[in-house]
């Protein structure tokens, strides 16, 4: 090998050695090669797929906890023996205008006569079942006429309208009233009819009377609002007309009047006492 060739090989080897040394320098300080620009490693990509979350519901008030008291509530007082007057409603028929209830017995032609004294005045009342009918609220009723005298002077004539249900309940459909003074009509106080101005038919006598029963007799607000409660049964009652043991007694009242009144009925006879007057006769 000649000198020039040896020199050339030596030069090549020297360059190669320098190249190797420069590439291995972590500080990038050797040779002419530019140091690589450091890069920030990227965050790893998530390996799960996110699902869409439902929208948050509009906040609502949190209900208050209920009482933990297990005691039963106190019941609202009710009239457990109050009879339902709907039995007398015009659409609750069929009805009969023959009044045969044994405690309110008024077949056509029957007349009850009661007499007595009140506040120093002599009273007389005649109650007669007329051979007449009157249609009230679409129902054909029996007309029961009542005439009242004070010291032999006629003071009132009323025409009362009754029907009877299949179970014997006597229903009261109203009354026409003529008040008299010196033989002349001066007013109509207390007149009412079912179906007029909101008035409803009431019960005059239950089909199966029991102690403690109560019921509305007249249902005309502000005009006639009588009601009754049965307070006794089976009492022995003596009046001029006779002595009776199969009896029922009612206490009547009205929010339109003060105080109470009393009526006693006898089976198969009807009314025998009305406050200060009592039965003196009765015939058909």
% of the chain residues with pLDDT over 90: 70
Give the domains, in start order, of the chain with CATH numbers. Answer: 85-283 (2.40.360)
Question: For residue 10, what pLDDT band results from cuts at 50, 70 and 90?
Answer: very low
What's the pLDDT tens digit per position in 39-59? 444 443 333 333 334 444 444
Which tokens hold the place of 202?
């009431």
Structure tokens at 176: 């026409």
Categorize the per-residue pLDDT at 80 as very low, low, confident or very high, splitting at 50, 70 and 90: low
How far is it, in rounded angstroms, from Cα 214 to Cα 79? 8
The yes-or-no verdict on residue 180 having pLDDT over 90 is yes
Cα atoms in the 13 Å half-sphere on the side-chain side of 106: 34
Buried-state track 241-265, b at ≥16 Cβ within 10 A, e below 16: beebebbbbbebeeeeeeeeeeebb
Whether the Cβ atoms of residue 241 and residue 272 lie closer than 8 Å to each other: yes
pLDDT score at 282 = 77
Cα 221 from Cα 256, distance rounded (Å): 9
Residues whose CB is less than 8 angstroms from the CB of residue 138 and which lie 6 or more positions away in sequence, other chains included = 90, 195
User: Would the pLDDT of 219 be above 90?
Assistant: yes
pLDDT score of 64: 40
Would you place residue 198 in the very low, low, confident or very high pLDDT band (cuts 50, 70, 90)? very high
Give the pLDDT of residue 240: 95
Beta partners for residue 122, in sequence order: 117
Indicate if the pLDDT at residue 253 is higher than 80: yes
The number of residues making up the chain comes to 284
Q: In Å, how far are 21, 112, 156, 237, 244 from 267, measured between CA atoms?
A: 140, 14, 28, 12, 8
Q: Average pLDDT over the chain, rounded to whole?
A: 81
pLDDT classification of 200: cutoffs 50, 70, 90: very high
How many whole angstroms separate alpha carbon 239 and alpha carbon 278? 6
Q: Could you count the other beta carbons within 10 Å of the beta carbon of residue 188?
A: 13
> Where residue 116 falls among pLDDT bands split at 50, 70, 90?
very high
* Mean per-residue pLDDT, 228-240: 98
Question: Where is pLDDT greater, at 14 or 175?
Answer: 175
For residue 113, which of 90, 68, 147, 136 has the smallest C-alpha distance? Answer: 147
The CA-to-CA distance between both ends of the chain, in Å, stands at: 174
- Cis, peptide link before residue 94, omega less than 30° from 0: yes
Q: How much is the pLDDT for 283?
A: 63
- Scan for tokens 């077949």, then name that residue: 107
Strand ranges inside 8-80, DSSP E: none
Range of lowest pLDDT (20-34, 81-95, 184-198, 199-213): 20-34
Angstrom distances, CA of residue 244 to CA of 237, 265, 270, 272: 5, 9, 11, 9
Q: Which two tokens stand for residue 109?
A: 């032609």
DSSP, residue by residue, 37-106: PP-PPPPPPPSS---PPPPPPPP-PPPPPPP---SPPPPPP--TTB--GGGGSGGG---BSSB--TTS-B
**Whole-angstrom distance, CA of residue 132 vs CA of residue 140:** 10
């Amino acid at each position: 090998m000649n000198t020039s060739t040896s020199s050339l090989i030596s030069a090549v080897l020297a360059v190669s050695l320098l190249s190797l040394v420069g590439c291995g320098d972590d500080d990038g300080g050797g040779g002419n090669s530019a140091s690589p620009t450091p890069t920030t490693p990227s965050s790893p990509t998530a390996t799960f797929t996110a699902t869409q979350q439902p929208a948050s519901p509009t906040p609502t008030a949190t209900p208050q906890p209920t009482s933990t008291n297990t005691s039963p509530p106190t019941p609202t007082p009710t009239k457990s023996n109050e009879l339902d007057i709907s039995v007398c409603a015009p659409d609750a028929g069929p009805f009969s205008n023959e009044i045969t209830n044994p405690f309110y017995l008024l077949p056509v032609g029957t007349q009850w006569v009661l007499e007595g004294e009140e506040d120093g005045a002599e009273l007389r009342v005649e109650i007669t079942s007329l051979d007449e009918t009157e249609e009230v609220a679409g129902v054909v009723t029996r007309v029961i006429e009542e005439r009242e005298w004070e010291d032999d002077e006629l003071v009132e004539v009323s025409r009362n309208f009754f029907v009877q249900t299949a179970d014997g309940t006597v229903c009261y459909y109203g009354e026409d009233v003529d008040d008299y003074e010196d033989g002349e009509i001066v007013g109509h106080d207390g007149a009412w009819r079912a179906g007029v101005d909101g008035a409803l038919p009431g019960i005059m006598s239950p089909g199966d009377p029991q102690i403690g029963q109560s019921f509305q007799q007249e249902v005309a607000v502000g005009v006639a609002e009588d009601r009754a409660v049965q307070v006794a049964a089976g009492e022995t009652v003596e009046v001029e007309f006779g002595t009776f043991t199969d009896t029922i007694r009612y206490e009547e009242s009205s929010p339109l009047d003060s105080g109470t009144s009393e009526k006693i009925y006898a089976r198969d006879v009807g009314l025998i006492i009305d406050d200060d007057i009592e039965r003196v006769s009765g015939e058909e």
